[in-house]
Structure 1
Amino acid sequence: MLRYLFHRLWQSAITLVLASIVVFIGIRALPGDPATAMAGEEADPATIAAVRAQLGLDQPLPVQYFKFVGHAITGDFGRSIRTGTPVREMIGTTLPVTVQLAVYAMLVAVLAGLIAGVVAAVFRGRWPEWTANGFSLFALSVPTFWLGILAVLYLSVQLRWFPASGYVSPFEQPMRGIYYLTLPALILGLAHAAVVQRQTRASMVDTLTADFVRTARAKGLGRGAVIFRYGLRNSLIVVTTIVGLQLGGLIAGAVVTERIFSLPGIGKLTLDSVFTRDYPVIQAVVLVITTSYIVINLLVDVLYTVIDPRVRVSGRAR
């Protein structure tokens, strides 16, 4: 187990280094000059050159990269070009909002996806399966931004069931905070629920038609025990994989949802920073999201051996 964990940590570290290089180079490939944006379009070349020197953009790229990595390791991401606020403070303010939204959306996706997947697997060839499959097809086909706009128009503006925008911290006002996050979480989690449903159904169908399940039924094991003890339990490995991958994707893909519902999360911060060519903020945000994605996948790999001790990867988990 320790050997496997060390191997995965080493892989994660290499992935993080490569990701930091891609992020650093990719940000600088964006059109526009942050020094010009900060100094103003009508600034003279001397002023722009002074701003570039102040930001360190006049130095060679390798020097800029190693300075960026050295400061990032200590948690120092510099200051925003646009506001002058320390980037660490901006991320510390916006990241919790996105994490709360992502966790809530994933809870919605897992609950809805598991229920629909179990129903589709148990009632194969009947109307409950067709209904569950229709739900997943609809959720995967409809764009999130379009569904979000419709939800705001009908559920918020016309019916007034949910607020159209705004955010309240669940840690300060739990019920009100959950109420404000419910509609964005439903919209964001819908497509992910469809993925969980399809994977759960496929895994349970394979398990319920296996020989050992037929043997258990022949020995008199009840239908409920077969479904939950064998079918659902054996599908948890697949669901865990999907949840791990989707949770990282939720954090990274909350940009549209946060924009529609005016949530002060890291997605909105990223979009605003891209528009203003705020290099320090974009670099820090993308690096934080990448790190969270890598860490989540590492935890999912470790959880495999907890959920099912039979799982071994090339003998390294022993």
Structure 2
Amino acid sequence: MLRYLFHRLWQSAVTLVLASIVVFAGVRALPGDPALAMAGEEADAETLAAVRAQLGLDQPLPVQYLKFLGNAVTGDFGRSTRTGTPVTEMIGTTLPVTVQLAVYAMLIAVLAGLLLGVLAAVFRGRWPEWAANGFSLFALSVPTFWLGILAVVYLSVQLGWFPASGYVSPLKDPLRGVYYLTLPAVILGLSHAAVVQRQTRASMTGTLTADFVRTARAKGLGRGAVIFRYGLRNSLIVVTTIVGLQLGGLIAGAVVTERIFSLPGIGKLTLDSVFSRDYPVIQAVVLVITFAYIVINLLVDVLYTVIDPRVRVSGRSR
């Protein structure tokens, strides 16, 4: 186990370095000049040169990258060229909002997806399966931004059931915090619930028709025990993989939802930074999201052995 973890950590470090190179090169390929955005359109050549020297943009690209990588290892991402605020402080303020939204949305997606997936697998060819498949088709087909706008117009403005915008930290006021995050989390989690539902249904359908399940039924095991002890448990490996990948996607894909509901998360910070050519913030945000992906994938691999002891991290059977 320790050897496997060491191997995965080494792979993760290599992935982070490669991601940092791609991010560094991609950010500098964006059109526009951050020094010009910081100094103003009417700045003269001397002022622009001074700003570039202050930002380190006058140095060769390899030197800029090594400096950026060394600072990132120590957690120093520099200061925002737009506000002058330390990037670490900006991420520390906005990232918890996005994490709370993503975890809440994934919780909704997992509960709804597992429930509908189990119903679709158990009641094959009957109306519960049709209803579950219809939900997944709707959730996957409708764009998130359009569904979010409709939710704001009808559920918030006309009916007044939920706030149209704003954020309250659940750590300070749990009830109000959950209330403000409920509608954005539902909108964000719908498409992910559809993915969980489809995977759960497909996995459980194969499991419930397996020979060992028929044997368990022939020995008199109850229907509920067959469904949950054999069907659902053997389907959790596939579902765990999907949930791990979807959680990373939720953190990265919350940009639209945060924009619609005016949530002060990392999605809004990313958009503002891209529009203002704020190199340090963009680089830091992408690296943080990449790191989150890596950590989540590592946790998913470790969970395999907890869900099913037959699965070995070496990939070889006993």
TM-score bin, normalised by smaller chain: over 0.9
Q: Say whether the 8 Å CA contact 1:4–1:316 is kept in structure 2.
A: no
- The aligned residue for residue 203 of structure 2 is 203
Q: Which runs of 5+ in 2 are unaligned?
A: none
Q: Say whether the 8 Å CA contact 1:5–1:317 is kept in structure 2.
A: no
How far, CA to CA, are the matches of 1:256 and 1:276 in structure 2? 18
Matching of residue 62 in structure 1 with residue 62 in structure 2: yes
Q: CA deviation at 1:309?
A: 1.1
How far, CA to CA, are the matches of 1:317 and 1:163 in structure 2? 53
- The aligned residue for residue 149 of structure 1 is 149
How far, CA to CA, are the matches of 2:315 and 2:289 in structure 1? 31
How well do the aligned residues superpose, as a CA RMSD in angstroms?
A: 1.1
Give matches, 1:76-225, under 5 Å: 76-225=76-225
Q: Say whether the 8 Å CA contact 1:109–1:189 is kept in structure 2.
A: yes
Q: CA deviation at 1:190?
A: 0.3
Q: Say whether the 8 Å CA contact 1:109–1:193 is kept in structure 2.
A: yes
Partner letter of residue 184 of structure 1? P
Q: CA deviation at 1:314?
A: 3.9
TM-score (norm 1): 0.98
Cα deviation digits, residues 241-261 of structure 1 (max 9, x gap): 011000000000000000000
- The aligned residue for residue 311 of structure 1 is 311
- The aligned residue for residue 41 of structure 2 is 41
Q: Say whether the 8 Å CA contact 2:310–2:317 is kept in structure 1.
A: no
Cα deviation digits, residues 131-181 of structure 1 (max 9, x gap): 000000000000000000000000000000000000000010000000000
How far, CA to CA, are the matches of 1:315 and 1:209 in structure 2? 26
Cα deviation digits, residues 20-79 of structure 1 (max 9, x gap): 110110000000010010011111111111110110001111111111111111111100
- The aligned residue for residue 240 of structure 1 is 240
TM-score (norm 2): 0.98
How far, CA to CA, are the matches of 2:256 and 2:317 in structure 1? 39
Partner letter of residue 153 of structure 2? L
- The aligned residue for residue 10 of structure 1 is 10
How far, CA to CA, are the matches of 1:243 and 1:165 in structure 2? 27
Distance 1:193 1:10, change over 3 A: same
Q: Say whether the 8 Å CA contact 1:123–1:129 is kept in structure 2.
A: yes
How far, CA to CA, are the matches of 2:57 and 2:244 in structure 1? 37
Q: CA deviation at 1:313?
A: 4.2
- The aligned residue for residue 295 of structure 1 is 295
How far, CA to CA, are the matches of 1:316 and 1:21 in structure 2? 34
Q: Say whether the 8 Å CA contact 2:244–2:300 is kept in structure 1.
A: yes
Partner letter of residue 158 of structure 1? Q
Q: Say whether the 8 Å CA contact 1:34–1:277 is kept in structure 2.
A: yes
SS in 1 for 2:77: coil
SS in 2 for 1:85: coil
- The aligned residue for residue 262 of structure 1 is 262
Q: Among all aligned residue pairs of Structure 1 and Structure 2, give the percentage whose two residues are the same amino acid.
A: 90
How far, CA to CA, are the matches of 1:283 and 1:248 in structure 2? 18
How far, CA to CA, are the matches of 1:244 and 1:113 in structure 2? 14
Q: Say whether the 8 Å CA contact 1:2–1:317 is kept in structure 2.
A: no
SS in 2 for 1:3: helix
How far, CA to CA, are the matches of 1:315 and 1:188 in structure 2? 35
Distance 1:6 1:47, change over 3 A: same
Q: Say whether the 8 Å CA contact 1:165–1:261 is kept in structure 2.
A: yes
Q: Say whether the 8 Å CA contact 1:3–1:317 is kept in structure 2.
A: no
Distance 1:187 1:317, change over 3 A: farther
How far, CA to CA, are the matches of 1:69 and 1:316 in structure 2? 37
Partner letter of residue 76 of structure 2? D
How far, CA to CA, are the matches of 2:200 and 2:217 in structure 1? 21
Distance 1:264 1:218, change over 3 A: same
Partner letter of residue 172 of structure 1? K
SS in 2 for 1:200: helix
Partner letter of residue 120 of structure 1? A
Q: CA deviation at 1:315?
A: 4.5
Runs of 4+ residues deviating >3 angstroms: 313-318
